[in-house]
């Protein structure tokens, strides 16, 4: 299955309001005979967050490195805010990047680090320092501005990395696995920060991550990659919706009940008319496979399942439609591509 339709046309004239600020057109990248990226095309509008998803080795980091001018495309081109990929120096002035696994100098404070990069982007010393302080404030590190970067925690370094990516007030921000290694609270805070960057600054954000549930929560658009090629793209709702049309969204539900009640719940649900079968997973979720429903969206059938559980006084800890999440689509699409 290939969802190649773009949510945003790449052919809009430059200068019009809401025009795409990042347009990738048929980008290929090979390492010798190995094709790491094949025919990558998408566009991104200001103020939107685009999630770059894919399993390990899918080509996400290669794609980001090409789009950030670190690698040259083997074929194809891209534009950032109207500047073509044949002008990498001018593109670098318009983008901010948080690379995966970014290292930081042990010497120097957070403020000195940002001031240095501000100057590298052409700001005068005093201006770079002022911007550095404002950015530290934005990312919640103002009170650690004069602490050595070597004393920062991993989460603080990621925040500092994001602040560094913003020193030139970029039009497009690329964040490669920014939440990797953070605790749940750190992940949540960082994702909120990223969403804020897109909204407040009206910048486009390209976010590469494995955290599908979080991506689903903050991304407007999504590009799913596998083996170097795009397998789906569009808004999150569109991608999930198209997968449902193609059969990715099965007519089933997932129910979570207390562990001692799993067997009883399974027996009870299998007796409900329309249920084909049940299966349990290791974390206490009960998957219920249902036959084709004649009811719209299958809702009355699902209600009958819930009703049966309530009548039997089995506590329902969780209840969701199977295949209705980005994670389900992702797993289904990447598995299909592998097959």
Binding region for other proteins (CB under 8 A):
65, 68-71, 81, 89-90, 92-95, 97, 99, 101-108, 116-117, 119-125, 128, 131, 134-135, 137-138, 164, 166-171
Q: Minimum Å distance from CB 231 to other proteins? A: 27
**Residue among 106 and 213 whose Cβ is closer to other proteins:** 106
What the block records as the tokens of 58 is 């899918």
Q: Minimum Å distance from CB 169 to other proteins? A: 3
**Residue among 168 and 229 whose Cβ is closer to other proteins:** 168
CA distance 106 to 148: 7
Q: Minimum Å distance from CB 199 to other proteins? A: 13
Q: Minimum Å distance from CB 264 to other proteins? A: 53
Q: Minimum Å distance from CB 101 to other proteins? A: 5
**Residue among 34 and 185 whose Cβ is closer to other proteins:** 34
What the block records as the tokens of 27 is 């980008």
CA distance 34 to 27: 15
> From the centroid of its chain, how far is CA 290?
31
DSSP state of 148: B
Radius of gyration of the chain (CA): 23
**Residue among 119 and 235 whose Cβ is closer to other proteins:** 119
CA distance 102 to 50: 21
- Asked whether the beta carbons of 143 and 161 are under 8 A apart, the reply is no
CA distance 285 to 283: 6
**Residue among 142 and 325 whose Cβ is closer to other proteins:** 142
- Asked whether the beta carbons of 8 and 44 are under 8 A apart, the reply is yes
- Cα dihedral across residues 66, 69, 71, 75: positive or negative: positive
Q: Minimum Å distance from CB 89 to other proteins? A: 5
**Residue among 20 and 170 whose Cβ is closer to other proteins:** 170
């Amino acid at each position: 299955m290939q969802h190649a339709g773009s949510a945003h046309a790449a052919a809009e004239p430059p200068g019009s309001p809401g025009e795409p600020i990042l347009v990738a057109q048929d980008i290929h990248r090979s390492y010798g005979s190995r094709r790491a990226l094949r025919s990558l095309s998408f566009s991104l509008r200001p103020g939107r967050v685009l999630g770059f998803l894919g399993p390990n080795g899918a080509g996400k980091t290669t794609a980001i490195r090409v789009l950030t001018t670190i690698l040259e495309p083997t074929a194809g081109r891209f534009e950032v805010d109207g500047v073509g990929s044949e002008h990498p120096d001018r593109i670098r002035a318009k983008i901010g990047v948080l690379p995966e696994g970014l290292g930081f100098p042990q010497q120097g404070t957070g403020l000195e680090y940002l001031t240095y990069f501000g100057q590298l982007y052409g700001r005068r010393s005093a201006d770079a320092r002022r911007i550095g302080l404002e950015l530290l404030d934005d990312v919640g590190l103002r009170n650690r501005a004069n602490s050595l970067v070597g004393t920062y925690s991993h989460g603080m370094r990621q925040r500092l990395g994001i602040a560094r990516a913003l020193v030139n007030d970029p039009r497009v921000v690329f964040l490669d696995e920014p939440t990797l290694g953070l605790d749940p609270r750190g992940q949540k805070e960082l994702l909120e920060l990223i969403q804020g960057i897109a909204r407040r600054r009206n910048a486009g954000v390209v976010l590469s991550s494995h955290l599908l549930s979080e991506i689903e929560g903050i991304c407007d658009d999504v590009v799913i990659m596998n083996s170097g090629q795009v397998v789906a793209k569009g808004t999150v709702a569109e991608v999930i919706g198209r997968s449902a049309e193609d059969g990715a969204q099965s007519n089933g539900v997932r129910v979570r009940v207390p562990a001692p009640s799993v067997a009883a719940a399974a027996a009870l649900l299998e007796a409900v008319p329309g249920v084909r079968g049940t299966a349990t997973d290791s974390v206490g979720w009960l998957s219920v496979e249902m036959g084709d429903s004649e009811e719209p969206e299958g809702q009355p059938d699902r209600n009958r399942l819930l009703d049966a559980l309530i009548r039997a006084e089995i506590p329902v800890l969780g209840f969701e439609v199977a295949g209705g999440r980005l994670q389900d689509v992702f797993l289904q699409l990447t598995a299909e591509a592998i097959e």
